Amino acid sequence: DQQVKQNSPSLSVQEGRISILNCDYTNSMFDYFLWYKKYPAEGPTFLISISSIKDKNEDGRFTVFLNKSAKHLSLHIVPSQPGDSAVYFCAASGQNYGQNFVFGPGTRLSVLP
């Protein structure tokens, strides 16, 4: 059973609009969450992270929100740009995993010009 879920395999958004990517997790011991972005033929690259002591972290156009009670996090991209088109992976880690990461299956975002 997947401990980190991204239930939308794909998402299409118009350029300039907001993109919202969602991630749910089942293990309450996770205390650190990250988003990675992956272009074709490249490895994933780190985008933004959030610790469980926070409920929001912002970096430029990217904001991650964490709702611990719902075991849910989301990545907001505002405004979306065509260069944001990629696969986005959510990842979680916690002390019980020796800080190893558990990755979700990914969401493919397409930003339409």
Query: Any contact of residue 25 with other proteins (CB under 8 A)?
Result: no
β-pair type (102-103, 107-112): unpaired
From the list 32-40, 57-65, 69-77, 78-86, the region that binds other proteins by CB under 8 A is 32-40
Q: According to the binding rule CB under 8 A, does residue 41 interact with other proteins?
A: yes
Adjacent-strand bridge partners of 92: 33, 102
Residue 53 beta carbon to other proteins: minimum distance, rounded to whole angstroms:
11
Using CB under 8 A, list all residues that contact other proteins.
4, 6, 9, 32, 34, 36, 41-46, 49, 51, 89, 91, 93, 95, 98-101, 103-106
